[in-house]
Structure 1
Amino acid sequence: MLADLMAGAAADAADRERLKPLEAVRAEALARPAAIDALAALAPSDRVKIIAEVKRASPSRGDLAEIRDPAQLAVSYETGGASTISVLTEGRKFKGSLADLEEVRRSVALPVLRKDFISSPYQVYEARAAGADLVLLIVAALDDATLASLYALITELGMTALVETHSEEELHRALALGAQLVGVNARNLSTFELDRDLFGTLAPQIPAGVIRVAESAVLSPADVRHYRAAGADVVLIGEALVTGDPVATLAEYLAV
């Protein structure tokens, strides 16, 4: 599944590049105002931080929410106390777009994450051009050379990489980059199986000073409490927010 998602995202990016060449997107990216400091926004605190996600669908769950107005949803997240907004921009399985990210960027003052299947510099420049402050890098999908070059470009553009891992070996690769924001995804993107305890297994190996993000398998305050007890500084939440009252749900989760 991960290989298919990566291939589809790369093909769609290639289509966009034929319409707008790399140099044009690079110029747009460099003309943007400076990115917001996501590491400051997500820094460890006496309460959990939340990355709230604009997510219409997923390969594992199908359609989740129509989300006609992603900007309005993002404003609800900001009102509810989220620290960062994640926007799915993958179109084939998640029904997102860069237009969603641009609308969200115009509507909130929080850092915005481009969550997609990134494998090329073109996609990184697109992210900055659209106003992203963070970009997701999935260790499982990238060889070391590509991972390092994309991480360096994200940093050069003033953004922050959320480096996502699913195993001890991937965690070591993320830390070798010098990643300051490391995610542990409970969902195996090859099989889409969930292991909520994976975060607790890997978190002790994440050194002090690196922000620890728990991803997936969050459907209730008990799940947030579980991750917080295991050492999560930040929890990324999508489905539970788009399928309910986002402000009320955030209040419940932030009270953990």
Structure 2
Amino acid sequence: MLAELVGGAVADADARAAELPLDAVIAAAADAPPALDALRALAPADRVKVIAEVKRASPSRGRLADIPDPAALASLYEAGGASAISVLTEQRRFLGSLDDLRAVRAAVGIPVLRKDFIAQPYQVYEARAAGADIVLLIVAALDQPTLESLHALTLSLGMTALVETHSADEVARAVDAGAALIGVNARNLDTFELDRDLFGTLADRIPTGVIRVAESAVLGPDDVAHYRASGADVVLVGEALVTSDPTARLAEFLSV
């Protein structure tokens, strides 16, 4: 499944590149307003912080919510206390787009994450051109030289990389790449099974000073409390917010 998702995302990026060449996207990225400081926004605090996600669908759950106005939803998240907004831009299985990202960036004053299957520089430049402050780099999808080069490119554009891991080896690779923001995804991207305890088994491998993000398997306040007790500074939440009253559910999560 991961290979399929990455392959589709790269094919879609190649199609966009045929319409808007790399040089033009690099110029647009240079002209974009500076990226916001995501590390400051997500820095450890007395309470857990939340990256709230604009998510219409997923391969494991199918369609979750229509979300005709991503900007309006993101504004609710910001008003409710979210520290950053994640926007799915993958179009085939998650039904997202870069237009969603642009709309959200125009509507909120907190950092915005482009959540997609990024495997080439073109995708990083277009994320910056669209207003992203953070890009997702999935260790399992990238060899080490590519991970390190994309991470370095992300930093050179003023953005932050959320480097996603699923194992001790992947955490070590993220650390070697210099990641300052490391996520542990409870969802196996090959089988899509969930393991809420995975974060706790890997958290101690993430060095002091690196922000720890728990991803997936966040359905209620008990899940947030579990991750917080295991050392999470931040939780990334999508499905639980878009399938309920987002304001009320976000307030529950932030009370942990």
Shared fold, TM over 0.5: yes
Q: Look up the match of 2:205.
A: 205
Shift of 1:178: 1.1
Unaligned runs of 5+ in 1: none
Q: Distance in 2 between matches of 1:76 and 1:167?
A: 34
Q: 1:205 offset after TM fit, Å?
A: 1.1
- For residues 151-197 of structure 1, the C-alpha deviation after alignment (integer angstroms, 9 at most, x for no partner) is 00000000000000000000000000110000000001011111000
In the alignment, which residue of structure 2 is the partner of 1:222? 222
* 1:218-245 alpha-carbon deviations (Å, 9 max, x no partner): 1000000000000000000000000111
Residue 90 of structure 1 corresponds to which residue in structure 2?
A: 90
Match of 1:16 in 2: 16
Structure 2 residue aligned with 1:162: 162
Partner Cα separation in structure 2 for residue 193 and residue 253 of structure 1: 23
Structure 1 CA distance, aligned partners of 2:158 and 2:93?
29
Question: Amino acid of the residue matched to residue 30 of structure 1?
Answer: A
What is the Cα deviation at residue 33 of structure 1?
1.2
Q: Distance in 2 between matches of 1:99 and 1:32?
A: 15
Confirm whether residue 135 of structure 1 aligns to residue 129 of structure 2. Answer: no
Confirm whether residue 184 of structure 1 aligns to residue 184 of structure 2. Answer: yes
Secondary structure (helix, strand or coil) at the match of 1:146 reads helix
Work out the CA distance in 1 between the residues paired with 2:22 and 2:114. Answer: 18
Distance 1:158 1:7 in 2: 27
**In 2, Cα distance between equivalents of 1:204 and 1:12:** 37
Q: Distance in 2 between matches of 1:93 and 1:33?
A: 30
For residue 207 of structure 1, report the CA deviation from its aligned partner: 1.1
| Percent identical | 72
Question: Could you tell me which residue of structure 2 aligns to residue 65 of structure 1?
Answer: 65
Unpaired stretches in structure 2, ≥5 consecutive residues: none
Measured in 1, the distance between the counterparts of 2:115 and 2:33 equals: 20
For residues 97-136 of structure 1, give each alpha carbon's deviation from its aligned partner in whole angstroms, at most 9, with x where no partner exists. 0000000000000000000000000000000000000000
TM-score (norm 1): 1.00
What do you get for the CA RMSD once the two structures are aligned? 0.4
**Aligned ranges for residues 22-37 of structure 1 at < 5 Å?**
22-37=22-37
In 2, the alpha carbon distance for the partners of 1:156 and 1:181 equals 16
Q: Aligned equivalents of 2:71 and 2:39: distance in 1? A: 23
Deviations 1:195-230 (A, max 9, x none): 000000000111110000000001000000000000
Residue identity opposite 1:229 in structure 2: A
Instruction: Name 1:241's counterpart in structure 2.
Output: 241
Q: For residues 109 and 178 of structure 1, what CA distance do their matches in structure 2 show?
A: 27
Runs of 4 or more off by more than 4 Å in structure 1? none
Q: What is the distance in 2 between the residues matched to 1:40 and 1:77? A: 18
Q: 2:52 is matched with which residue?
A: 52
Read off the aligned partner of 2:67 and give its amino acid letter: I
Give the secondary structure class of the aligned counterpart of 2:145. Answer: helix
Q: CA deviation at 1:24?
A: 0.3
Alpha-carbon distance between aligned partners in 1 of 2:205 and 2:8, rounded to the nearest angstrom? 33
Q: Number of residues paired by the alignment?
A: 256
Alignment partners' CA distance in 1, 2:220 and 2:144: 36
**Aligned residue number for residue 42 of structure 2:** 42
Q: State the TM-score, normalized to the length of structure 2.
A: 1.00
